[in-house]
Chain A
């Protein structure tokens, strides 16, 4: 008999369980994965280069398109970095609205993860339940920004517009119904023997490996590391909200599932607190050099007209320097490294995309395991290729 032969299998980029255009080259010995090499870049659109070629406010719509399941989190990371470079803080009402909407965004992102992850491993119906609630969140997005996905609602200095009439009731209705919905997903999966067979002890990664490979977000917390930027370096007033960090123990697919499901409950808790804090007030910083004046004022005030013209003709400039601002996005640490040269465009913008780094841990999770577990491991990492390839 000859020596054992391995087979090379190309998985993706057009494969439904790779969550976009991820391509894996697997070397298989029978059904066991010997090596796994991810190939990325199929969705590379040069977002960093694009943002560098636009004025500061104009970069926001491009950030929507990175992690397109959580556009408002991307907006938040970018505007906070620019605001840090400017040295400004937005008013209380804007901060509360930002927290409220990014937590709802976290629920929305986790719903897509849960639905598709469950479908990948054969639990078809969960997808339908998750997308039912996601649709309601899309309606909330549409109400505030006019767009279901690419909302660009957060702006440097505050928000694009105030909340529409009736929005609070709409959020209230969603938040009231959501705990029961979450219980429904859990009833379908948490103790389901088939689900347990496909997830417990699968795709395990140790705490040390996870840190060495730079994992962040729920995937890191599933290994038992209590690291969350909302707690470690609070932004937008997160230090004033009470919430817990769900942690896993073993770092397998099931722990990552449990952590994200528990996180949805915590996001619901934060959103409920934020909704109760909404009081009328300004939504933008009171700086006419940054925020355009109200439209009616243009007909009365010469200065308002000049400010309006300057803002739309050339934007605002940011002092020369460099900042790094990171937020806890649904998928992990979303960092923005911004270099400014004193002009009205960013000199260099780099997005530290959590999915890009988390995907690097995939070979560690699947090598030496069965090929069927690769699909479970990809799903449990919750990657978005728009963000990986940027």
Chain B
């Protein structure tokens, strides 16, 4: 066995974040209480991903946040992936949530998939920190969030056209923004 392979095996068995027993408890609880909402569950590199339909998102998030033995009280991150160039490209966008439980030290990834122009329900009522994260996803991917209190662009100028992190947006664009007016 080469050293990288051995290292990979050590790592797989290392039982670090998201590994083994504690994570499966989360899945058990999810299956028991909101089993109908779990469209797909994936495990890779000791991390668990749960894929949901957009209409179930708020219900599942509230459950994760409020159940005393789950207590996912910290929303670490919200971002998105444009799947345009992936083998499976429809629906086009995947909005990704990383939630964390400070008490139980567990991390879980949630995903919802939406097509162009379809809205995702906001989770700002559950985790207020989602406000800026969702604005960023809206700004850079053009995914709208339904019920968001203040959905404006956040990083790009307000009158910018297009959404830079989409895969059909060129890396080296010469935006109209900078074109000089003819003398």
Interface residues of A (CB under 8 A from B): 40-41, 44, 46, 48-50, 53, 84-89, 211-214, 216, 225, 227, 232-234, 285-287, 290, 321-324, 326, 333, 335, 337, 339, 341, 347-348, 350, 352, 356-357, 360, 389-390
Q: Which of A212, A233, A290, A323 contacts B129 (CB 8 A)?
A: A212
B44 touches A323 (CB 8 A): yes
For A352, the chain B residues whose CB sits under 8 A away are 76-77, 79, 98
Q: Is the CB of A287 within 8 A of B3?
A: yes
Name the residue on A nearest B8 (C-beta).
Answer: A87
| A285 (CB) vs chain B CBs: closest residue | B4
Contact indicator A323/B155 (Cβ below 8 Å): no
A213-B129, A337-B79 as given contacts; A347 in contact with B86, CB under 8 Å: yes
B residues touching A (Cβ–Cβ < 8 Å)?
Answer: 2-4, 7-8, 10-12, 16-17, 44-45, 47, 49, 73-77, 79, 81-82, 85-86, 96, 98, 102, 105, 107, 109, 127-129, 131-133, 153-157, 164-165, 169, 171
Q: Which of B8, B10, B107, B128 contacts A212 (CB 8 A)?
A: B128
Query: A339 CA to B156 CA in the complex, in Å?
Result: 24
**6 pairs of residues in contact across A and B, judged by CB atoms under 8 Å:** A49-B164, A50-B171, A87-B7, A88-B11, A214-B75, A285-B7
Which residues does chain A contribute within 8 Å of B132, judged by CB atoms?
356-357, 360
Distance, CA A376 to CA B81, complexed state (A): 37
| Residue from A50, A84, A87, A234 with most neighbouring chain B CB atoms (10 Å) | A87
Cβ of B81 to closest chain A Cβ, rounded Å: 5
Closest to B82 in A: A348
A357 to B85, CA, bound (A): 30
Indicate if the CB atoms of B98 and A49 lie closer than 8 Å. no
Contacts of A53 in B (CB 8 A): 171
Give Cα distance in the complex from A233 to B72, angstroms: 16
Least CB distance from B18 to A in Å reads: 9
From B49, B76, B127, contact of A335 by CB (8 A): B76
Structural contact, A227 and B79, CB atoms closer than 8 A = no
A227 to B76, CA, bound (A): 13
- Residues on B with C-beta less than 8 A from A321 are 44-45
The reply to whether B86 and A89 form a contact with Cβ atoms under 8 Å apart is no
Asked if B47 and A286 sit within 8 Å, CB to CB, the answer is no
Across the interface, which residues of A come within 8 angstroms of B3, CB to CB?
285-287
Residues of B within 8 A of A322 (CB): 44, 47, 49, 109
**Distance in Å from the Cβ of A226 to the closest Cβ of chain B?**
9
Let me know if B7 and A88 touch, CB within 8 A: yes
